[in-house]
Amino acid sequence: MPRILGVHAHPDDESIWTGGTLARHIERGGIVDTVTCTWATGTPRHLELIDALAQLGVDHPPKMLGYADGGVPESAPDQPKFVDSRLNDAVGAVVEYIRDVKPHIVITYDAYGVYGHPDHIHAHRVALAAVEAAADSHMYIDRGAAWQVQSLYFVTIGEEQMAGGWNRLVAKTTDPIAIPGTPADRIDVIADVGAWQAKKWQAIKAHHTEFNRSRTLKSMAALEPEALERLMSIESFQRRDLVPGGCDLF
């Protein structure tokens, strides 16, 4: 089984966008590691993240980069916002972690951050730069031996998924005109994770702090069970192989 590393902007993104995929991978005997770019170690959302990962079966602690969430300065006191951080610092930290855990697959957001979220877009850029640099022995020579990731998988939402309910949820935080969804011919993997939907929902619910704050999660929780299942049971990705043949996620 390949080893997966997820690079996410916030606690809860690992569950919302990839919870079914991660739970499936663990159940099949795989190993999952995660990087979360915002929120400091020891904060409430860090502790909720550990609980959420446990719901998915992930027993490795998340690597916290410790930058501030853009709209929540108390997420990382005295630290810069993630989007304002020095790219070299963030990339270097992820390079070191990649070389340490040696994943075959890295999962992060698509170039648009799924729906235009600035922290998601920045995490995409950091992850790409780190994967490239991690494979180059001339880069970050003090951060471990070079390691070549085999494939990147970018979380995305298809046009049909967006029209099927995601548009109303992400519109709570984003201009709805700017969230058309990804055309079907640009999506490489549409995964049915319905068998792991219950674990995924339990992991999402572990993020109590965000449920108290987020209109999106509150709206998600208010959905009829059938509508919630439709949203939770599909996870879509764009695939980019970095070596011949790459590495299959499904």
Q: Could you tell me if residue 246 is inside a domain?
A: no
For the segment 22-49, the average pLDDT, to the nearest whole number, is 97
Dist. CA 123–CA 193, nearest whole Å: 24
110 inside domain: yes
The H or E element spanning position 171 is none
Q: Is residue 10 part of a domain?
A: yes
Quick check: is 73 in a domain? yes
pLDDT tens track for 186-223: 999 999 999 999 999 999 999 999 888 887 888 888 88
Give the count of domains, the chain: 1
Look at 165 and 248; give whichever has higher pLDDT: 248
pLDDT at 67: 98
The residue ranking higher by pLDDT, 227 or 156, is 156
- pLDDT for residue 133: 98
Buried b (16+ CB within 10 A) or exposed e, 147-185: bebbbbbbbbbbeebbebbbbbbbbeebeeeebebbeee
User: What pLDDT was estimated at residue 225?
Assistant: 86
- Give the separation between CA 85 and CA 134, rounded to whole angstroms: 20
Q: Which CATH number characterizes residue 85's domain?
A: 3.40.50.10320
At 86-135, the pLDDT tens digits run 999 999 999 999 999 999 999 999 999 998 889 999 999 999 999 999 99
Q: Are 90 and 84 in contact (CB under 8 A)?
A: no
Query: What phi, psi does 133 have (nearest 5°)?
Result: -70, -35
Question: Which residues, other chains included, contact 219 with Cβ-Cβ below 8 Å and sequence gap of 6+?
Answer: 168, 169, 172
Please tell me the distance from the alpha carbon of residue 60 to that of residue 189, in angstroms, as a whole number.
26
Task: Give the domain extent around 136.
Answer: 3-241
Q: Which helix (H) or strand (E) holds 105?
A: strand 105-109
Whole-angstrom distance, CA of residue 34 vs CA of residue 218: 25
pLDDT tens digits, residue range 140-191? 999 999 999 999 999 999 888 877 777 777 765 555 555 568 999 999 999 9
Q: What pLDDT sits at residue 71?
A: 81
Is 221 contained in some domain?
yes
Q: Is residue 249 in some structural domain?
A: no
Tell me which DSSP letter residue 124 carries: H
Per-residue pLDDT at 179: 59
Average pLDDT (42-66) is: 97
Helix (H/G/I), strand (E/B), else coil: 140? coil
Confidence (pLDDT) at 27: 97
Q: With respect to residue 248, please indicate whether it lies within any of the assigned structural domains.
A: no
**pTM of the prediction?**
0.94
Residue 250 within a domain: no
